[in-house]
Amino acid sequence: MEKEAVAALAHMLGWKIHLGHLTGGGTLANLEALWLARELGGGRRRVLASREAHYTHARMSAVLGMDFLPIEVDRNGRMDPAALARKLDEDVACVVATLGTTAQGAVDPLAEILPLARQVGAWVHGDAAYGGYFKLVATQYPTLAQDFAAIVDCDSVAIDPHKHGLQPYGCGAVLFRDPTVGRVYRHDSPYTYFSSEDLHLGEISLECSRPGAAAVALWATQRLLPLTPEGEFAQGLRAGLAAAAGLYHWVRESEDFVALAPPTLDIVVFGASMATASAASARARAILAAAAARDLHLALLRLPRDLAAAWWPGLAWDAEEVTVLRCCLLKPAHLAWLDAITTRLGAAGEATRTD
C-alpha cells in the first residue's frame, strides 16, 4: 500500500521512475533529502535556502553537521535568484526551493533556481511539504505553472499528505528522482531478512519501525479521491485558491484591514489598520481574540519591516517588525464558508476599532 501510495505522488510530480517512502512528517522528509545531498556531495557542507524557508532546514543542517545559509527574498517572500547566485560556490551541497512557505504560501522561483544550482553541481531539493499537491492544478494558473512544472527536475521532493492530502498528522513523504540513490541507505544487519530481492522499504528510510496506518489511510484516500487534474480532489485545491482570492479581495475593500502580498496559494496574510507598527500589532492580537470569540480561528505572523513596508506604505515604523493576521484556507469547504468568514472577520475588526 505504501509503495502504491508513494507511486501516485511520484506520478503527480511527473516521475515515471522514483524512489521514495512515507515519513512521520516534513521534518524527517527534509532531513533525509539533506542527508542524501551531503552523502552524494563529495565533501560539500553548505545548504542554501530562502530565509522564509521552514526552520527545519536550519535545524536539520545542524543535526547533519552542515552549514545553513539563508538567502534573501523579494517583497512576495520568494527566494531572490540574484541573491542566490551571489552565494553559490563549489561548497554548496544542496539548494532548497520552497514550494509554499508556511508563513505566506510563497513559491520560490524554481525554474530560475535549478539552472543556477546546476552550474555548481548542487543537489536541488523541492520542499513542497505545504504546496506539493498544487502540482495537480498548476497549469491552470499562470503564477504557478512554470515553477511547479520544474519540480520534475528536482533531485528530491518533500510532500506532506497531512496538509492538503487529507491525512492526520504522522504522514509525510520524501521522493527521489533517481532510484539509484538508494545505495546510500544500504546496510547489513545479521538479524534481518527479506522475502524479495527488491529493495525493501526498511532499506530506504532513516526510520526503522514505522506504523502501517499512515500508508493504509493514504492509499485508501487516493483510491477514493485519485490524484487527477480534473478529479474531485483537484477541485478541492482549486476551491482553496478561489477562497483565498476572494478573501484577499474582501480585505482590500475593508477599512479595518490592510492587504499585503497577494496570495500565491491558499494562505492570506493581512494587517490590522493602524497608524504605527506597534499599534497595528496590538490590534492584530485583539482581532485574533475577537475572531476566536466568534468561532473564527486565525493565526498571527510576525513580518519583518522589509516584507511588509512595500505593501503598507502609510505605516509608521516604530518597530522593526509588525504582527499581522494569517488565514489558511486549505479546506475545500472554505469557499462555501467565505461569506461567513468575512462576516465574522468584519465583526472582529469593528469590535477592535479605537476611534
Give me the domains of the chain, ranges plus CATH numbers. Answer: 2-224 (3.40.640.10), 232-351 (3.90.1150.10)
Of 130, 128, 78, the C-alpha closest to 330 is 130
Cβ burial 14-30 (10 Å sphere, 16+ → b, else e): ebeebbbbbbbbbbbbb
Mean pLDDT, all residues of the chain: 95
Q: What is the pLDDT of residue 200?
A: 72
Neighbour count for residue 156 (Cβ, 10 Å): 27
Longest dimension (CA), the chain: 75
Q: What values do phi and psi take at 174, rounded to 5?
A: -125, 135
Check if the beta carbon of residue 302 is closer than 8 Å to that of residue 286.
Answer: no
Tell me 167's DSSP state.
-
290-299, pLDDT tens digit by residue?
A: 999 999 999 9
Q: What is the pLDDT of residue 194?
A: 62
Residue with cell 511527473: 14
Cα dist. 157→44, 58, 132, 209 in Å? 20, 17, 8, 22
Look at 325 and 209; give whichever has higher pLDDT.
Answer: 325
Check if the beta carbon of residue 324 is closer than 8 Å to that of residue 285.
Answer: no
| Length in residues, the chain | 355
Q: What is the pLDDT of residue 209?
A: 79
Residue with cell 505572523: 301
The two beta strands, 123-128 and 92-98, are parallel
Stretch 68-93: mean pLDDT, rounded?
A: 98
258-275, pLDDT tens digit by residue?
A: 999 999 999 999 999 999
Which ranges constitute the DSSP H helices of 179-319?
213-224, 232-253, 277-293, 305-308
Question: Rounded to whole angstroms, how far apart are CA atoms 65 and 38?
Answer: 10
232-268, pLDDT tens digit by residue?
A: 999 999 999 999 999 999 999 999 999 999 999 999 9
Q: What is the pLDDT of residue 193?
A: 60
Inform me whether the pLDDT recorded for 100 exceeds 80: yes
> How many CA atoms does the CB half-sphere of 343 hold within 13 Å?
6
4-58, pLDDT tens digit by residue?
A: 999 999 999 999 999 999 999 999 999 999 999 999 999 999 999 999 999 999 9
Stretch 129-153: mean pLDDT, rounded?
A: 97
Inform me whether the pLDDT recorded for 192 exceeds 80: no
Residue 280: what residue type? A
Q: What is the pLDDT of residue 199?
A: 66
Which sign does the torsion angle of CA 252, 51, 112, 233 carry? negative
SS3 19: strand
Q: What is the pLDDT of residue 187?
A: 74
Question: Rounded to whole angstroms, how far apart are CA atoms 222 and 50?
Answer: 32
Inform me whether the pLDDT recorded for 323 exceeds 70: yes
Q: What is the pLDDT of residue 205?
A: 86
pLDDT band, very low/low/confident/very high, at 321 (cuts 50, 70, 90): very high
Q: What is the pLDDT of residue 197?
A: 67
Report the Cα 156 to chain-centroid distance in Å.
Answer: 14
Residue 227: what residue type? L
**DSSP H/E element including 61:** helix 56-63
Report the Cα 265 to chain-centroid distance in Å.
Answer: 10
Q: What is the pLDDT of residue 329?
A: 97
65-80, pLDDT tens digit by residue?
A: 999 999 999 999 999 9
Residue 66: what residue type? M
